[in-house]
């Protein structure tokens, strides 16, 4: 039976890779490398660096595959755009497994952060299993961007007696976080932190966490919002993409 491993490789720093992830890399016959355009080629460069550092006998094959471009749709079309994108990725996976993964071989996906947090690979492969695709699946957890962010800023994600909320920039823009006093934001393409300017908020912001391009900014949001916006724009222009995460804290309720 084919065996697939989704390996969480952390936020980008090789030191974040767990022993379990290293052992899983060393079991792979094929490592699948997603192609998302020239602007995100740096992500695969990090994957290759990790393979070169951690695989003891590099006998694996590399298999590049194209990720379909996702249609950027607004609510309520957002869910349909995600479903269409997943269907395209599933079709690419099915073709790739048939052509490039032998009946008893092990294939690996190297997923940034943790496979269970805002990454579609696990859900797509589980959906494929549900409709009869015959392969065994294994998941290796990794250090997520929120964990790396908290460590870099030396803060805890939660306040005493409060839950940890992790959400997306899209949902923050829609008002989901308006009743919260502390929350983590990922996948923010529209600088949703600006919604909390003038509300005595504090922000702990990081981009390209764990990589050589890492940027960290923290402070009162009213004071540093302009700096974050400028740095985001410069990084976006330089790299062609931005991968940032941040923690917002507002005054605690009495």
SS3 219: strand
Residue 81 has pLDDT above 90, yes or no: no
- Asked if residue 93 belongs to a domain, the reply is yes
Q: 139 and 193 share a domain?
A: no
Please state the domain count of the chain. Answer: 2
Same domain, 156 and 51: no
Predicted TM-score (pTM) of this structure? 0.90
Lowest mean pLDDT of 44-53, 74-83, 131-140, 158-167, name the range.
74-83
Structural domain includes residue 129: yes
Cis peptide before 76 (omega within 30 of 0): yes
Mark which of 143, 171, 196 sits at the end of a domain. Answer: 143
Planar angle of CA 207, 213, 219, nearest 5 degrees: 40
How confident is the model at residue 115, as a pLDDT? Answer: 97
Confidence at residue 240, expressed as pLDDT on a 0 to 100 scale: 82
**Residue that finishes a domain, picked among 122, 143, 164:** 143
- Interatomic CA distance for residues 51 and 60, integer angstroms: 10
Q: Is 14 helix (H, G, I), strand (E, B) or coil?
A: helix
CATH number of the domain bearing residue 162: 3.30.950.10
Q: Is residue 254 part of a domain?
A: no
Same domain, 88 and 173: no
What range does the domain containing 102 cover?
Answer: 2-143
The proportion of the chain whose per-residue pLDDT surpasses 70, expressed as a percent, equals: 94
Say which CATH number the domain at 35 has.
Answer: 3.40.1010.10
Judgement on whether residues 30 and 133 belong to the same structural domain of the protein: yes
For 209-245, how does the pLDDT look when each residue is reduced to its tens digit (9 = 90+)?
988 899 999 999 999 999 999 999 999 888 888 889 9
Chain segment 137-186, per-residue pLDDT in tens: 999 999 999 999 999 999 999 988 889 999 999 999 999 999 999 999 99
Mean pLDDT of the chain: 92
**Domain check: are 137 and 117 in the same one?**
yes
Answer yes or no: is pLDDT of 251 > 60: yes
Q: Do 117 and 163 sit in the same domain of this protein?
A: no
Given pLDDT bands bounded at 50, 70 and 90, which one contains residue 79? confident
- The pLDDT assigned to 144 comes to 96
Residues 15 and 134 in one domain: yes
């Amino acid at each position: 039976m084919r065996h697939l491993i989704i390996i969480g490789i952390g936020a980008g720093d090789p030191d974040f890779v767990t022993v379990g992830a290293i052992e899983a890399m060393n079991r792979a016959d094929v490592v699948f490398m997603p192609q998302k355009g020239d602007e995100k080629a740096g992500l695969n460069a990090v994957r290759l660096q990790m393979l070169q550092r951690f695989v003891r006998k590099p006998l694996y094959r590399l298999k590049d595959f194209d990720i379909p471009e996702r249609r950027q749709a607004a609510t309520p079309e957002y869910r349909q755009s995600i479903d269409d994108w997943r269907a395209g990725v599933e079709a690419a996976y099915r073709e790739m497994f048939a052509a490039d993964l032998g009946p008893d071989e092990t294939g690996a996906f190297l997923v940034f952060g943790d496979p269970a947090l805002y990454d579609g690979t696990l859900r797509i492969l589980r959906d494929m299993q549900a409709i009869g695709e015959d392969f065994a699946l294994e998941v290796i957890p990794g250090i997520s961007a929120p964990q790396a962010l908290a460590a870099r800023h030396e803060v805890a994600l939660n306040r005493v007696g409060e839950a940890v909320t992790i959400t997306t920039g899209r949902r923050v823009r829609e008002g989901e976080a308006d009743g919260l006093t502390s929350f983590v934001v990922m996948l923010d393409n529209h600088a949703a932190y600006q919604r909390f300017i003038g509300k005595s908020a504090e922000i702990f912001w990081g981009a390209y966490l764990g990589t050589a391009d890492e940027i960290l900014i923290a402070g009162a949001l009213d004071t540093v919002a302009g700096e974050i916006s400028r740095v985001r724009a410069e990084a976006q222009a330089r790299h062609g993409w931005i991968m940032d995460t941040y923690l917002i804290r507002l005054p605690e309720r009495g």
